[in-house]
Amino acid sequence: MEIIDRTAETAGTTRTRNDPPKQIYSRHDRQSLDQVRGAFLHQTYFFNPNPSRYDHTIAHFVILRRGDVLQVRPLTAGLNSVSNGRAVDIEFEGRYPSLRQIRHLRRTDAPVPHPTLPQLLAGRALLRHLRDTQGIAHVWGHRQASRMERDNCPGPQLWYNVGEWAVRNLGLTSTGLRESIPVAWRTERSLELVWPSPLDDPWDDARFDTMISRVNRW
């Protein structure tokens, strides 16, 4: 699969742009590849199509809404995150609603923000790639490791369409952590995003033909 390597650009970056800044690397700053057994899914909680914006993000990979997969740290980087020296952190660009917010928006006929199809397919392809090349056996949601802080990370849409898809189709498991994924994130059929048209999507400025070409590539 095509991965845009930004590890050279991020090599000298050790702090986030938060106020106050956070350390990007954990205390040990490296993780051993044979201890990397799974991947955590996250949402960034903001929209920005500019790849360099993610050079300061605590993650190994960032998947943009147009379907680009950025690798911002090598897999051997131990990050100051829930991965805690034994997993891969995958961020998805965007700010996506909780199930409660989705139901409220639907009731009021308001548009429901959602990930794009190229983004979802790129997420699936990346998990398959990590399973095949790194032998990962697990996929987890951020909330499973830190529910108090990030109850809606990665959110039901990303979980249903990428995390749960990988459980069903790649043989990964989401068990082994203290918190579990809410049952509705795993089973709510209405979360299935079949063909979110960019024409209906005010959060997406990707051109339709670009999206089609990426869908064909995965």
Give me the residues that bind Zn ion (CB under 5 A), please.
Answer: 42, 142, 150, 153
End-to-end CA distance of the chain: 8
Nearer to Zn ion, 70 or 153 (CB): 153
Q: Provide the 10 A C-beta neighbour count for residue 166.
A: 25
CA 160 to CA 6: how far, in whole Å? 28
CB nearer to Zn ion: pick between 127 and 206: 127
* Shortest distance in whole angstroms from residue 75 CB to Zn ion: 18
Distance CA 147, CA 153 (A): 9
Decide whether 130 or 153 has the Cβ nearer to Zn ion.
153
The CB-of-111 to Zn ion minimum distance in angstroms stands at: 24
Q: Work out how close the CB of 15 gets to Zn ion at its nearest, in angstroms, rounded to a whole number.
A: 18
Q: CB-wise, 42 or 138, nearer to Zn ion?
A: 42
Q: Closest approach of Cβ 16 to Zn ion, in Å?
A: 13
Which two three-digit tokens encode residue 44? 């960034």
Q: Which of 2, 129, 110 is nearest to 66 (CA)?
A: 2
- For residues 180-213, b (16+ Cβ closer than 10 Å) or e, as one string? ebbeebbebeebebeebebeebebbebeeeebee
Burial class for 122, CB neighbours closer than 10 Å (0-12, 13-18, 19+): buried
Write down the least CB distance from residue 143 to Zn ion, Å.
8
Task: Give whole-number Cα distances, 93 to 62, 98, 99, 148, 186, in Å.
Answer: 7, 16, 18, 22, 21
By C-beta, is 114 or 142 nearer to Zn ion?
142
Nearer to Zn ion, 2 or 149 (CB): 149
